[in-house]
Amino acid sequence: MHTETREITGDLPLSQNAAVVLKRRYLKKDEQGEPTEAAPDMFRRVAETIAKIDLLYDPDADITATAKKFYDLMASLAFMPNSPTLMNAGRELGQLSACFVLPVEDSIDSIFEAIKHTAMIHKSGGGTGFSFSRIRPENDPVMSTKGVASGPISFMNIFDVATETIKQGGTRRGANMGLLRVDHPDIEKFITCKNDTKKLTNFNISVGLTDAFMEAVKADKTFALVNPRNGREVQRVRAADLFDLIVKSAWATGEPGVIFLDAINRDNPLPHLGQIEATNPCGEQPLLPYESCNLGSLNLGKVADDGSINYTRLKDMVHTAVHFLDNVIDANNFPLESIAANTKANRKIGLGVMGFADLLLKLGIPYNSEDAVQTAEEVMAFIDKEAKAASAALAVKRGNFPSYPGSKYDGNGFGRMRNATVTTIAPTGTISIIAGASSGIEPLFAVSYIRRVLEGTELVEVHPYFEEIARRRGFYSPELMRALASTGSIRDFKEIPKDIRRLFVTAHEVSPVWHAKIQAAFQKHTDNAVSKTVNFPNQATVEDVRQVYLMAYDMGLKGVTIYRDGSRESQVLNIGGKPDAKAKELHYIEPRPRPETTVGVTRLITTGCGKLYVTVNQDDLGFCEVFAQMGKTGGCASSQIESTGRLISLALRSGVKIESIIKQITGIRCPSPIWQNGKQVLSCPDAIAQVLARVAEVDTPKVADAMGLCPDCGSTMEHESGCLVCKSCGFSKCS
């Protein structure tokens, strides 16, 4: 192992990838940005901070023994709390929660109070969810000003700008969930508000569907849209048409997701406190206004024991984790007093899992099988039962959660309960990298893949259990592992035994129906909700998506997020309209001649290949040509640069917008990236894009948005659990 990696991991069984993520995002650093602790120090810091809470309930508590239990659970990679707890426990910030929900009422005061509170939460490392359903629709009268309302989408843009402005110290980025009820008059505009993928980039959006709406869809009936200001019906729409618009938009861009509000509120443990209207950014944590939740995940790969599940070990892990998460509530330095009060009154925790795909592999069960569905149900039923038992045991010592009277537990034979909820299946993007586990309940994304580090080095990453089997059964070779990394899949490699190809199935080889079945199996035994992405191949149809949404409702899911492979990489046009027959005809474009006179500017930009001089010229019709030349002449690089300039010039004189050209060549990466003036230059084409953007006075798109690449390290992003995650450095679009 690399010396620097050993300095980070200490004597713990952490991968090089985990070391990169820990160094970048979790470990304490000095003023020069260098780590002042290693992974064992971090786990010890967290364990000791959380264990001390026992003294609040028992002055004679043996917190040294408790801290050791907590440390061993994390250091063995059997459990990880949510990222803010790992980052902030025992440090000055002390904010330990990942998810929050804030209310947004129909008044300017409430809206801007929510924006202020959002900024405070994001600054502390949390993500926020909102329902905008109470805001009156666009063009509705505003009596106080005699004007008209601008509607919820306009205010979402203000939240988005505020989020973009808050920089969370380079460790976690602000993320939001925006939800609108399906019966809101502005629902059509909301459904399509992210079809332009450059807008609302700090929001996930979901439509809040009701049972009444879904039954109207099935019966092909009309459905009332209601003004939230006065409760009056504004118009009636064909429910199936509105549902089709949701489906088409999700097919095209992956958004909006859907949340089944009535299903959520049927399981609301605190109906006496109000209806749940919103969730956290990835949709797995429904919360009341000014609530937060502390999450943690068990690594199921650690309980596979000679082809079976070690339930004795799993029970011990569950009870220790529930104790840990309940302590986190009291150790937390909440960003708002109202959040502290509500969280301590309800004491919701969310114990979930990661490594489910790893568990199936060790049990010899393919992900897309009935055996996998049965295993999901059995293991989550056990976790939920034991988590409730652990919560009840804590309640005997510490008391029920204060809001217990009137809750679903009160008088229903539960007796004692320390926490209003105990289980949640959350995304585990970065913590699963630390634990060396497959993410959440997702299938493997790839059996083997190329990881690119900042210096341009390429490393072949192979799933450790696959490598173990390959060596044991005699088909391992470095050449084969690299060949697999080019596709991520082993399906078409005949030199690999058929039973192994059947077992190591990857996300895009699992049909959407199996994705939904696995999600439903976990949801049956989860208090809160399940964060998961239902993956579709690029060639999937709109009808395929529609059927999964209907199936999700019938299965009792609380929400569903889909992603069709490659859908966000293309421009989305006219989702709600009918195709133009003329669009089917092929028209060739002749570029206009080069003008005799142009004016322009030449700029110098440094690349990993050397100094690059970029000239951008325009005439009275606009930008028309680009020349680029290296400071040193000759060689393949210079010829490639010249051809890039010629093709850009041809595109400009053919009427292609300069913004479209910038988007296409931004993020192209070569083995020699370089930093200039605080910004990374990934390659010569990327440098040209930066010059074009500066000359044209437009923004360069974020690499993650433009090319599906990580904006921090340039590696490929993966869609999982309703989010974009980088497995190389731990960047997450949702945190």
Residues that are catalytic: 280, 282, 284
> Contact, 125 vs 168, CB < 8 A?
yes
Look up residue 461 and give its two tokens: 């990453």
Output the CA–CA distances (angstroms, integers) from residue 509 to 252, 533, 560, in the order listed.
Answer: 20, 14, 19
Distance separating alpha carbons of residues 395 and 402, to the nearest angstrom: 11
Select from 256, 241, 258 the least CA-distant residue to 577.
241
Select from 252, 256, 257 the least CA-distant residue to 575.
252
> Contact, 320 vs 80, CB < 8 A?
no
Q: Which amino acid is at 323?
A: H
> Contact, 513 vs 548, CB < 8 A?
yes
Select from 415, 399, 321 the least CA-distant residue to 57.
399
Look up residue 333 and give its two tokens: 């330095």
Select from 298, 223, 285, 698 the least CA-distant residue to 531.
285
Output the CA–CA distances (angstroms, integers) from residue 194 to 2, 129, 613, in the order listed.
Answer: 43, 17, 37
H/E stretch holding 323: helix 311-331
Q: Which amino acid is at 427?
A: P
CB within 8 Å of 561: residues ≥ 6 apart: 206, 254, 257, 283, 531, 532, 533, 534, 722
Query: Within a 13 Å sphere around the CA of 151, how many CA atoms are in the beta-carbon half?
Result: 14
Select from 523, 286, 277 the least CA-distant residue to 421.
286
Q: Which amino acid is at 20?
A: V
Encode 1-21 in three state secondary structure.
Answer: CCHHHHHHHCCCCCCHHHHHH
Distance separating alpha carbons of residues 151 and 132, to the nearest angstrom: 9
Output the CA–CA distances (angstroms, integers) from residue 178 to 158, 228, 283, 613, in the order listed.
Answer: 12, 17, 10, 44
Distance separating alpha carbons of residues 226 and 293, to the nearest angstrom: 32
Distance separating alpha carbons of residues 403 and 270, to the nearest angstrom: 8
Encode 365-392 in three state secondary structure.
Answer: CCCCCHHHHHHHHHHHHHHHHHHHHHHH
**How big is the chain by its Cα radius of gyration, in Å?**
27
- The DSSP symbol for 96 reads -
CA-based torsion, 271, 273, 278, 283: positive or negative? negative
> Contact, 485 vs 382, CB < 8 A?
no
> Contact, 715 vs 728, CB < 8 A?
yes
Distance separating alpha carbons of residues 373 and 356, to the nearest angstrom: 11
Distance separating alpha carbons of residues 277 and 290, to the nearest angstrom: 12
